[in-house]
Amino acid sequence: MDFQVRWAARALRDVTRAAAYLRRRDPDAVGPATDPIIRKVASLAAFPYSGDIHARSGSNEIRVVPAGSYRIFFELDPDAKTVTVRAVRHVRQQDPEFPE
């Protein structure tokens, strides 16, 4: 059974800001940058244990997977069968913090 994928508000802001930045610099770069993110997040429903463990949050894991020039940080809750995308960062950006 597939997991349910959810987006945290922070992750949506991250992608929106990245797209807005790229749109100002090179509108043709928006699709090639954001499409891998969308595809990777969609694949997490079927492959929730993808990527490396970045941190632990209680009994849940924060994992990270690459998607083009970005990294997707997501929380895996196996009991609830959910994947929550918590943050999206360009590979050159600092890792986000996840308070307990």
Calpha distance 40→69 (Å, rounded) = 12
CATH code: domain 4-90 is 3.30.2310.20
Residue-level pLDDT, tens digit, the chain, 100 residues: 699 999 999 999 999 999 999 999 999 999 999 999 999 999 999 999 999 999 887 778 999 999 999 999 999 999 999 999 999 999 999 999 887 6
Cα end-to-end span (Å), the chain: 28
Torsion angle, CA of 29/30/32/36, rounded to 10 degrees? 150
Query: Which are the contacts of 78, defined by CB distance < 8 A and separation ≥ 6?
Result: 48
Q: Where are the alpha helices (DSSP H) in 1-100?
A: 9-25, 30-43
Domain ranges of the chain: 4-90
Read off the pTM.
0.92
